[in-house]
Chains A and B, each alone.
Chain A
């Protein structure tokens, strides 16, 4: 039987700059195939050509052995190729059924929508694949994982045989991701082919059958996932050997810099007490909705004070708004850099300087030279890859954008760094550089609280971990007691 999808010699340049050179890919029915590569490896160009968003300069695409060319995504869809994007775009106020069959609702006379049929048809579809979602629920009431499943169901409703999942777990906790993986397993048994794009290596090894690696726009290697080790895969992706995935060279000190007693937040946090020492990286682990982000928001003055005390260096601190936290030397790298971390329409320099405009100005007038020097310092220190600091930050890759957010906070010379999912959507190479930065900060005496959904990351970086469950502390583990099983056991 010919493969579901076979791509050979696919090349594409943008205004003379090659983005993909001789791309090659082969997807068999009933398999999950990982598409791996750092940012700029050519993965997205490849997918966009397959989906008919970009045209190609050369190369062939064969679907079930027949050569095809799509000029837009709906043609690809008609030929059974669907993509579930990283950034989901549901209509929140509509039901699951309305979202799935948008634009092709079953109709009655006078153009009225036949809701009975619509809902039944949707429910059959969802049940058929074992997705525990009601067709009549509003999208806004669903969790992120459920929304993800709805998007997949939408692809299936077109009878797609090739389903592309682009970073599907980037917004999911581990337990939620499990639901997704169950669904993927079901799809496999139905003979579907899945292309799985993820920066999370552990997922690649647990759910995929084959892998293809792209680097710098070129096909590098493909093979069976079971035949390759994690280290080998990283090396293929990065192009050079990486001895360790994580960098951890700090040692926690004795002095307590932050003490939290009976902390409450309006929602999510009930009664939480803990200490943070200088030079320490404290991991905060928990499932989605366990209150991890809420703890950080509260410490940073983003949610209203509702009880509990915060002591900084033994002194009671009132943190009512972010400027109070910043004045106290607390920095906060939020979960979603595009929503709350960066001003995408502004330049790299303006973003880097955003939290330290006070120090960089005199009597309200900006001191251009200090600004430029400060930004240049951060660009060098964090190895931010940007041709110029006058470039709009929107043009940077995910990893570099994240470094800009970190740089913005290092400009205030913080004592305490709050990190919420610091490496989400960041490729393996940039991830390691971010770990290096975090480690250096802690080694120099800084204190870090790091929230992460990836247990690997917690295991690799944290000196101590607090596991949260429903807004309370479910357990606390020292580094030598840490294991993925123990973390999940406490969190679930």
Chain B
């Protein structure tokens, strides 16, 4: 029931493992891989892992905002594909799928892609926030609808031959470091700042932690709920464009099941599906953990089928660890 004396939790090895468990797991995995594979700890491979993680990482950061408010966004894979083909249609040099007057400058294509992502997020967000339909249902609908719109828009075919200028966001590099890594770290830095330092960040945690209390405290519940889906949509758009830029064409089939890895990264990173608890740092580490694990298993020559099994175990184990922590409190 109640306690009067509040003593700060005493330091113990067990608590340390629980608190930094994900980070330790990542370090441990890297250590093991470095020992058994000489290819792991090469600059080339590290950059490769980071670049491969960037798309899932960006999606997962957007997902973190949504999950912190007790929501979920299942539509990010489809929204990413839509943003990819919209941007591709403006940045292609081939006549198939090109918007009249193209190719346009990459900036225009990117803004259009972001707008497409935000538009999808706005629709989901408005329905969740205004009508209180469960996010699971709304974004499941958006998952299907956005995919359909992508196929309609692209006529069911890839939009190839993107301009070099546009492809730079996926294939370019600065000081030898791939651009997608900068995009991931930039997104992370901004998201971390927003969640920890801004009023909006406080709102997100409060709405997820206890929506009733947030309402009584005068917080604009609907606006907050709406905003997180727009953020998720925008970041899905960004991720979709990086993907299109990397592959060199806007694929209407791109991003299928990407929402699952994004949710996995958030959950492994310690964000509670019950809302109100979690950090974007955890999400980044969660995404890296998935990325490193895939890479390591590749290096070791483990079949991708097994990789899926191992990832499944990892997700459940991470949440079990998290729950045992809650029980202790």
Contact = CB atoms under 8 A, between A and B. Distances in A.
Interface of A: 15, 17, 38-40, 43-44, 86, 166, 300, 302, 321-323, 325-326, 332, 334, 339-346, 350, 353-355, 357-358, 360-361, 364-366, 368, 385-388, 391-392, 394-398, 400, 408, 427
B205 A350 contact: yes
B1 A391 contact: no
A361 B199 CA distance: 7
Given A343-B276, A350-B205, A361-B198, A385 B4 contact: yes
- 8 nearest A-B pairs in the assembled complex, by CB-CB distance: A40-B4, A343-B209, A44-B1, A39-B2, A323-B218, A397-B2, A345-B276, A326-B218
B6 A341 contact: no
Interface string B1-36: 111111110100000000000000000000000000
A353 B272 CA distance: 23
B200 interface: yes
A332 B199 contact: no
A357 B202 contact: yes
Given A40-B2, A366-B197, A366-B199, A341 B216 contact: yes
Contacts of A339: 210, 212-213
A353 B202 contact: yes
Interface string B167-209: 0000000000000000000000000000001111111011001
B218 A38 contact: no
Most B CB within 10 A of own CB, among A332, A339, A340, A354: A354
15 contacts: A39-B2, A166-B1, A302-B215, A322-B216, A323-B219, A334-B216, A339-B210, A340-B210, A346-B276, A353-B202, A364-B199, A385-B5, A394-B329, A396-B6, A398-B2
Contact of A346 (B1, B197, B205, B215): B205
Contacts of A342: 210, 213
B220 interface: yes
B3 A354 contact: no
Given A345-B272, A355-B217, 18 more contacts: A15-B10, A17-B7, A39-B2, A166-B1, A302-B215, A322-B216, A323-B218, A334-B216, A339-B212, A340-B213, A345-B210, A346-B209, A354-B219, A357-B199, A364-B198, A365-B199, A386-B6, A394-B329
A343 B209 CA distance: 5
Contacts of A385: 4-6
Nearest to B202: A357
Main secondary structure of the interface of B (DSSP, over half): loop
Contact of A302 (B5, B216, B329): B216
Nearest to A16: B10
Contact of A354 (B7, B206, B220): B206
Given A342-B213, A345-B277, A366-B198, A44 B206 contact: no
Contacts of B7: 17, 387
A38 B4 contact: yes
Contacts, number: 117
A343 B210 contact: yes
B318 interface: no
A17 to B, nearest CB: 7
Contacts of B216: 300, 302, 322, 332, 334, 340-341
B314 interface: no
A103 B110 CA distance: 60
A404 B1 CA distance: 18
B198 A345 contact: no
Contacts of B219: 323, 354
Most B CB within 10 A of own CB, among A166, A345, A386, A427: A345
Contact of B1 (A86, A345, A353): A86
Given A346-B209, A386-B6, A358 B199 contact: yes
B214 interface: yes
A355 B217 CA distance: 5
A323 B220 CA distance: 8
Contacts of B197: 365-366, 368
Contact of B214 (A17, A332, A343): A343
Contacts of A38: 4
A86 B1 CA distance: 9
B3 A341 contact: no
Nearest to A17: B7
Contact of A40 (B3, B199, B203, B220): B3
A475 B47 CA distance: 77
Contacts of B202: 350, 353-354, 357, 366
A451 to B, nearest CB: 15
B5 A40 contact: yes
A472 B1 CA distance: 37
B4 A397 contact: yes
